[in-house]
Structure 1
Amino acid sequence: MYSASSRKKTACNRMGVFFSIIFVVGMVAGCGGGPKKEGLVTVYGTVTLDGEPLPFAQIMFKHDTDGTAIGRTDGSGSYEMYYTFSQEGAFAGENVVYLSTKDMETDDGDVQKVELVPKQYREGNSTLKVTVTEDGAPYNIELKSN
C-alpha cells in the first residue's frame, strides 16, 4: 500500500516531468527547430539612405498573412532576412518593409541612440513594399530622406 504522502510525491513528479516535456517541446518549436516553414524564400540585399549604405539598422518584412521576417544590416548596409533564429528567409509575395536604427548595437558594442531612418519608413508609417519572388533574389532597398 502507498501512503497519501507517497501518492502526492508521485503525482508531483509526474506533473514535473509533464511540464518539463511541454517546456522543451515549446522551446524547440518556437526557436525554429522544426521543418522549414512553407513559403520562405532566401532574401538578402543592401539598404541605402540617400545613396549611402545604412549600417546597423533593423529591417522587417511583414507579409499580410504569413508573418514577419527580421534582419539587420551590417556596417556596409548588407542584410539577410530570418523568420526564426535558424530559418532564413522572408515570405514570397508582397511585404511591407519597416526599418529603424534606434537602439541598434554596432559592431564595436556601442548602441545607436539616434534614429537615422526617416519617419516614412518606420513601423506604423511605412508604405514601402517589396514583392518577394519564389526564386529569391537580392532586394536592394533605397531610402530617401525627403
Structure 2
Amino acid sequence: MKHRAIEKKIVGCLLAVVALTACSGGESLPDLATVTGTVSLDGNPLPAANVLFQPQQGKTAFAMTDENGKFELMYNQDVTGATPGNYTVKISKEKNPEEPGNELLPAKYNEKTTLTADVKADQENDFQFDLKTK
C-alpha cells in the first residue's frame, strides 16, 4: 500500500514538471529591462501606433501605443521588457486599418527609420519619440 502511495506522488510530481515545462514553452528568458515611452505626432499623442525595437541580433520587442501615446514593450506575448542593448526603432500607423498599406507616418520613422534607442539594464528606460509629419 505504501508503494502505491509513493508511486502516485512520483507520477504527480512528474506531471507537474511536464506541465510547467509546457507552460513556459521550454524557453528560458534572458535578463530583461522594462521599457516604456510616449509617441507624439506634431505635438499630439499618437494612439494605436505600432512600436518595434529591433536589435542587431536577437528578438524584436514590440508594443502598441494607448490613447495617450504611451507604450510598454513586450518581449513576447506574455512577458514585458526587452534585452539590454542598442536598438533600431520603427514606429508605424496606418491611416485606415481596414486598408493595409496606407502608412500615416513618414518613412524615416519606419521603413527607412532614423530612430534608435539604447536600453540599459537595471535603469529606467523611458523613451520619448516626438515625430513630425514634415
TM-score norm. by structure 2 comes to 0.71
Deviations 1:107-127 (A, max 9, x none): xxxx5765222111113x112
Q: Which runs of 5+ in 2 are unaligned?
A: 1-17
* Residues 1:112 and 1:45: Cα distance change in structure 2 (over 3 Å): farther
How big is the shift at 1:42?
A: 0.4
Sequence identity, in percent?
33
Q: How does 1:45-64 map to 2 (within 5 A)?
A: 45-64=37-56
Task: Please point out which of 93, 109, 114 is paired with 1:127.
Answer: 114
4+ residue segments displaced more than 4 Å? 111-114
How big is the shift at 1:136?
A: 3.0
Name 2:73's counterpart in structure 1. 81
Matched pairs, number:
113
Question: Quick check: 1:63–1:96 contact (8 Å CA) kept in 2?
Answer: yes
Task: Please point out which of 35, 55, 76 is paired with 1:43.
Answer: 35
Q: Which runs of 5+ in 1 are unaligned?
A: 1-20, 106-110
Deviations 1:74-117 (A, max 9, x none): 11101110010111112211100011112886xxxxx5765222
Q: In the alignment, is residue 91 of structure 1 matched against residue 83 of structure 2?
A: yes
TM-score norm. by structure 1 comes to 0.66
